[in-house]
Amino acid sequence: MKKHTLAGAALALTAVTAVSVSLTAPAAFAAPAARTSASHRIPFTAATVTAGDDGSYRIVWTAPGTRAVTIRANGHVVARGGAQGDVTVSGLPAADRQWFDLVPERGGSLHLADRLIKLDGAVNFRDAGGYRTADGHWVKMGEIYRSDALNKLTDADLAKLKRLGISSVYDLRMASERTSAPDRVPSGATYNVADVLAGSSTFTSMPTTEDEAVQMMVDGEKFMVSGDTARAAYRAVYAGVADDDQHGLLYHCTAGKDRTGWSSAALLTALGVPRATVMDDYLASNTYRAAVNAATLASMPAAQAKVYKPLLDVRAEYLNSGFDEVSDKYGSFTSYLREGVGIDARELRDLKKDLLVG
């Protein structure tokens, strides 16, 4: 039987018409160049880019009241549509990350790419942006990233991340994790330790039942909100997010799902992203980590796998317990930002001004 450590696994972690467009265009830029003017209302209520395994890209959008939307990539028009669209673009040259501009006939445009950054040595490395806020703004992409562990990144991965502009890394893991699996970071990037669980006794032993495992994850989520070391760690991360010199910032833990999950959940909530969207982002780790998690569980006897599975999952009850802890300990999310992680009203306005468009 293989030995599995807790730190290494439990925390490892619209009506449209489809159109296919194939074309050849100049090489894609590695990073976004155009910026949307914040003075223009963005009419899109939903928009995503998803990269296919065959090199194609599916762009789906909804822009009520808009008669025409133009899709551009690498300075060329690659598709057109109306208020709703679902197009697949193929034939673009290989790129570290392919960006698309969704340009409506009037109003602000969106600058989007697939959220996932495909790497050989990480499976849950993704953009923290690309979400719409409740008041119609959008969180910029290409600014803040989240990930699982970086110790298995290849040289090619590191070169890719450097080209994508990763300039600052915040390691949310415990000392034992950092020692056994030290980060590999892109050259020139600043490495920062922000140990979330250093003061927690929650993850010191393995659960013996499925219910104990679920409770461990719930208790851990609560600690991420109110634990002293957790608050200090997230205060450091958000100070980095607020620092203009640190854009291209990445925060990560082992699986990129729990400590990293709360980091993104709190940031997106602070920016005004609806709770349902925040939850979708959180639960996406189940999709990105599906193959890895399945392999881990398959290597165990069935009884052990049943106990272990809650530790590998992200579940709505876990994240909800964090938001419940915010209410119980701070009364409101605004109070949590101010008292828990040191973001006052002025700093929050600055953060929104910096990271939102529209």
Q: 171-200: b or e for each residue (b if 16 or more CB lie within 10 Å)?
A: bbbbeebbeebebbbbeebeebebbbbbeb
CA distances from residue 306 to 58, 59, 197, 212, 258 in whole angstroms, order as listed: 37, 38, 25, 11, 19
96: DSSP letter: S
Instruction: Kindly name the residue from 253, 265, 267, 337 that is annotated as catalytic.
Output: 253
Do residues 145 and 81 touch, judged by C-beta distance below 8 A? Answer: no
Please confirm, yes or no, whether 253 is among the known catalytic residues: yes
How far apart CA 351 and CA 344 sit, in angstroms, is 10
Contacts by 49-52, CB closer than 8 A, 24 or more apart: 49/98, 49/100, 49/112, 49/113, 49/114, 49/115, 50/114, 51/98, 51/114, 51/116, 51/118, 52/88
How far apart CA 311 and CA 309 sit, in angstroms, is 5
Catalogue the active-site residues.
Answer: 253
